[in-house]
A and B are shown apart, each in its own frame.
Chain A
Amino acid sequence: MAVETLIVLIPLLPLLAFFAIVLFAHRNNALSHWLALIAAGVAWMLSMIVFRRAVQTEELSRFPFAAAIEWLPTGSAALKIGVQIDPLSAVTLFFVAWTVLMIFIYSIGYHNFGQPKGEHDRPGLPPHGAEIRDGHGHVHRVPSIEPMYARFFALISLFAFAMFLLVITDNLLTLYIGWEIMGLCSYLLIGFWYAKESARNAMIKAFLTTRVGDVFMLLGLAALYSLTGTLNYQVILNNPAVLNGLASAASPLAGVSWAGLIGILLIIGTIGKSAQFPLHIWLPDAMEGPTPVSAMIHAATMVSAGVYLVIRFFPLLSAGWDGHHLTLPMLVMGAVGAFTALFAATIALAQNDIKRVLAYSTISQLGYMIAGLGVGAYVAAAFHLVTHAFFKALLFLGSGSVIHGMEHGVFHTGENIDPQNMLYMGGLRKKMPLTFWTFLAGGLALSGFPLITAGFWSKDEILSGAYASGQTAIFWMLAAAALLTAFYTMRQITLTFLGQPRSHSAEHAHESRPVMTIPLVILAFFAITAGWVGIPEYFPAVGGLLPNWFEEFVGSMLVSHGETAHFSLLPLGVSVVVALGGLWMGWLTYRGVVRPVDPLEKPLGGIYTLLRNKYYVDEFYQWAFIRPARWLAETLTDRWLDRTIIDGALHSIAGFGVWLGKSLRRWIDLPVINGAGDLTAAGTRNLGAFLRSLQSGRVQIYATVGLGLAAMVAILIYFLWVIG
């Protein structure tokens, strides 16, 4: 088969799985997960074939695999949609296919396939567990299967479809389509347990917050389209003439070129989707969904899509960049990214929910990528996107495994504790060894543990890029964030796995089933090795041992190279020191925790409360936007404008009409015309009586009148038309 056909099939299979499950398998749990798995598996296989071919093709960035059809007629020619695989989409496809498949497999175990149904379980709530009687007559409480098992696999298949569609497409419109379908899926999956109030709130928050970004992106899309007449990547981004034109044309915004304005609009889309400050608030709440969904949103799909967009449009965002003075969109990215990286890292310090820590770490790491692009480190940003997807998927699935183990303990002991609160964990290393070792690999990669982990290589490149660009503020913010990252990661690992158990549930936790742990092992492999394909040649000692394949492959995407490659030891040293230092401090601080209290809570005092409450951003938005918007809608538009002014005008016109009628009757009709004689009056009364009998409200009479009128019209027509 032609490679283009294979590419088209990749998103199509999960879509088919979605429909097949919804239509035929919504009552059959085993069939539903097999349909989803087979679709994801074949999509994975096709992705690997496409990836292999892509790697072997010379000059792929100039001549990508592509095919297109006409879809929606707009503008001078029909809007074409098509597929395209170039180096950037090839590497994205690689990590998406892997992580999606691993998450699918893991979900079977996470949703307790093979376990009995709980007596009190109902759709819309997480399973409560079931009681079973063993051979000796003892009653045990065990986890029960998810009541909406099939629906889950249908929805994540749709989710995977949207992401694959977004990756393989060749134009911004289809990307937007995948992007929006993903927003919808995240809405449905975050609110998967819709009977929980918190889940319902989180689902709406996620959708609306990302939607704010989306409308700006849509504006950017409309502007781009009306200026260039196309949304195709190759035509816009691989074409210096178009880019220069956009960069030199002045937009309505003073002092900003069209490229700058469109770039900023697209970046706002990314800020929403990839949860950057100030639209980051939805992502931590999105933890209300089942853990595989968190992994899906945080690693494989949603947030990666946001970063993918800005990486994809980097040629436009950097149009006019000479290697020294950053363009406006780049400055925006650098500032937003670096600030978010640091901001989210500080919040993560004071969170006790194992998944929330990871959520803030995601926000922070995405900030790295955006900041990396801002300083022009294009390849480094793409590289970090790939490595982050692997280790963050691993960490989320690992935390799901921990929660599962803790839930088992909660079932066993009947303790009333939150199984996601790390303060009640501890010592899980011995109970859940596989989860521990894989989580450790992921955690070290996140912290950027030198040399062996993937996260080190990609993060180091972003730091070097920031340093080389001369943006020292961005560099130091990112370095500080890296220190905090290592610190809270070690805090998480220490509180969860090391030391002694701090609850009975933690004593009775146990390792998850192989269907959950095998994906962890595979992802851990990538969390370590994925970095080795991008070791810079200039790196002391190990540089050049392996070819820097990633730089060559993805770097070929840029028509002109702006990246300055001069090497300095300072960022390297900083990156090693902050990683090791943060890990070490985290271990020192949290190794001796025996009671479920954070040792930093007292010494930090008010700062801790501030961090704990996420700087009160949610509360601020409620006060600054939501309440005024309600006022605008409720008081101003509805009550005042619509009911008072418009309806009021109508009613006063009607009132005037009634008054006019009455006056005419009183001052003209009665004295003047009534004087004309009783005969007329009697006639009027009779007519009135007749009309009243017509207005009896009986529909038969209306109908008869209507029919009579119709008959008269018919006779009229007959005479005028046929005879005339």
Chain B
Amino acid sequence: MQFPILSALIFTPIVAGIILLFLPAENRVWIRRIALVAATLILLMSFVLYFTYDVSRGGYQFLEEAKWLPQFGIHYKLGIDGISLPLVLLSGLVIFSGVLVSWNVEDRPREFFSFLMFLGASVLGVFCALDLFLLFFFFELAVFPKYLMIVVWGYPKTREYGGMKLTLYLFIGSVIALVGTLAIYFGSGLRTFDLLALEQAGFPAEFQRLWFPFVFLGFAILGGIFPFHSWAPDGHVAAPTAISMLLAGVEMKVGAFAALRVGIQLLPEGAQYWAAAILLLATINVVYGAFIAMVQTDFKYVIGFSSVSHMGLVLIGFATLNRDGLLGAGMQMFSHGVMTALFFAIVGMVYDRAHTREIGALGGLVQKMPWAAVGFIIGGLVSMGMPGFSGFVSEIPVFMGAWQVAPLVAIVAILGILITAAYIFLVVRRVFFGEIPPALDQSVTDISRKDKLVIGMLALVMILLGWFPSLLTRLIEPGVQSILALIGGGR
């Protein structure tokens, strides 16, 4: 039997999280070390997966299966394909970065890192699960650490509100999705939660049309779909830096991914029926999020709303249901995850030093923290789809895909990235260039080496992908092909 690497991947953070809870709270050195070791292991394992996944064979690999609740057809079944593998890699990158930027957490670091690990296990579990129940289990596992981390370590002014809003929205989402899931379970007549079996179940068209909105929308709420996006900016802003990175960088992808895997892959005819509606909502996402981001006076809210805008492109890509669009959505999920993690990391670095996030109170920080400024500009270029960065190779296929089904959507979405350019450069100008306020001139210091490592690593990933998109497309492409096969022949 081969080494169960996916289980190892998921249980590494769980074990680390439990060990951390048993350490004495004063032992900060070991707390950090264990968290870093676990995060490094996750990152290494995700790289191992990346390099050992056999592209020529495609499909689900590294399969593991064990009985869990066989009475209900529930299995512990894991496996990854070309769609989920990049997201596993993304989680590895973001968890690792999250640990590094949280290195100097003063308040109860033991619980902080422990919950961070549980959150990591949850997202990795969703990406690897091939059993609908297991997927749901991991999906819900995130709620507990997420809520606590926002409420305990979050931004004091809004953490109760932000945490509550986020939790409520996601609960509503999962309840809706659960209803749909149960319908799928009973509707299939197979008495199984196995995703691979359910894919072949051949649900009647009427059934698919009825239940598709439940599962898709339920999960897509976590992906930030309009008009249920409102948790995202408030939640992201209230959360501590590492959690903002994970929330916007990975958790939103969890929502989108689950909507794809459960919604579109199990109910493809439902997806075709509802595609136009999703396109409409997602297009609103793009423009609406960008517009609001433009007028925010809080640095972190700008990024919070930009995530709403960019997730719209992912959802547009899904709703095209064609090769280009899905490929772009897959790329965009990874690209946006890395980009927004970088953004939130830098926002956190600025806030930790300037103690304010008001754009008007900041300025000239390029002199104090050049790495942060360059990192932010690179992230900005990714977000506005500048060639040479990962955003371009992700957005172009989305636009191409959208043009084939609804040119108007492509036009509006492309105009959306024009607004993106505007708000990014306005923020760059006000925060990093210009006159530095005297108070900041005294107090702000340069960022640490670990921070620079995070910025350098995430920026490098985005640039590499911008020049060599085949690093990911070689994985995503076969994944997209199998989705197209489900939809019917593939266009």
Contact = CB atoms under 8 A, between A and B. Distances in A.
Interface of A: 70-75, 123-124, 173, 176-178, 180-181, 184, 187, 191, 194-195, 197, 200, 203-204, 207-208, 211-212, 215, 218-219, 222-223, 225-226, 252, 630, 632-634, 637-638, 641-642, 646-647, 650, 654, 697, 699-700, 702-703, 706-707, 717, 720-721, 724
Given A215-B417, A717-B68, A724-B71, A74 B295 contact: no
B138 to A, nearest CB: 13
Contacts of B294: 630, 633
B393 A194 contact: no
Contacts of B403: 222-223, 225-226
A587 to B, nearest CB: 44
B433 A703 contact: no
Contacts of A74: 323-324, 327, 396-397, 400
Q: Which of A207, A642, A650 has the most CB of B within 10 A?
A: A642
Interface string B404-439: 100100110011011001100110010001110000
15 contacts: A72-B396, A75-B324, A177-B388, A178-B387, A180-B387, A195-B433, A200-B429, A207-B425, A212-B418, A215-B414, A222-B399, A226-B404, A252-B407, A637-B292, A707-B21
Contact of A72 (B68, B165, B364, B393): B393
Point out which of B69, B70, B111, B291 has the most chain A C-beta atoms below 10 A from its C-beta: B291
Interface string B329-364: 000000000000000000000000000000000001
Contacts, number: 141
Nearest to A212: B418
Contact of A223 (B108, B407, B417): B407
B390 to A, nearest CB: 12
Shortest 10 CB-CB distances between A and B: which pairs? A177-B387, A633-B291, A634-B295, A222-B403, A699-B111, A637-B291, A194-B433, A633-B295, A180-B387, A638-B292
A197 to B, nearest CB: 8
Nearest to B418: A215
A212 B384 CA distance: 13
A75 B417 CA distance: 23
B67 to A, nearest CB: 6
B445 interface: no
Interface string B76-94: 1000000000000000000
B459 to A, nearest CB: 12
A255 B368 CA distance: 58
Given A177-B392, A180-B387, A699 B152 contact: yes
Interface residues of B, number: 63
Judged by DSSP, the binding face of B is: helix
Interface stretch (B193-201, B211-219, B469-477): B469-477
Contacts of A178: 387
Contacts of B70: 724
A647 B152 CA distance: 24
Contacts of A634: 295
B230 interface: yes
B285 interface: no
B274 interface: no
A180 B18 CA distance: 49
A71 B397 CA distance: 13
Contact of B400 (A124, A177, A225, A721): A225
A204 B291 contact: no
B430 to A, nearest CB: 9
Contacts of A630: 294-295
A72 B387 contact: no
Contacts of B364: 195
Contacts of B477: 73
B364 to A, nearest CB: 8
- For A211, A633, A702, which residue has the most chain B Cβ atoms within 10 angstroms? A633
Nearest to B399: A222
Contact of B148 (A212, A632, A702): A702
A654 B230 CA distance: 14
Contact of A200 (B114, B295, B433): B433
B111 A703 contact: yes
Nearest to A227: B403
A218 B473 contact: no
Contacts of A717: 68
B288 interface: yes
A72 B397 contact: yes
A724 B68 CA distance: 9
Nearest to A706: B144
A191 B433 contact: yes
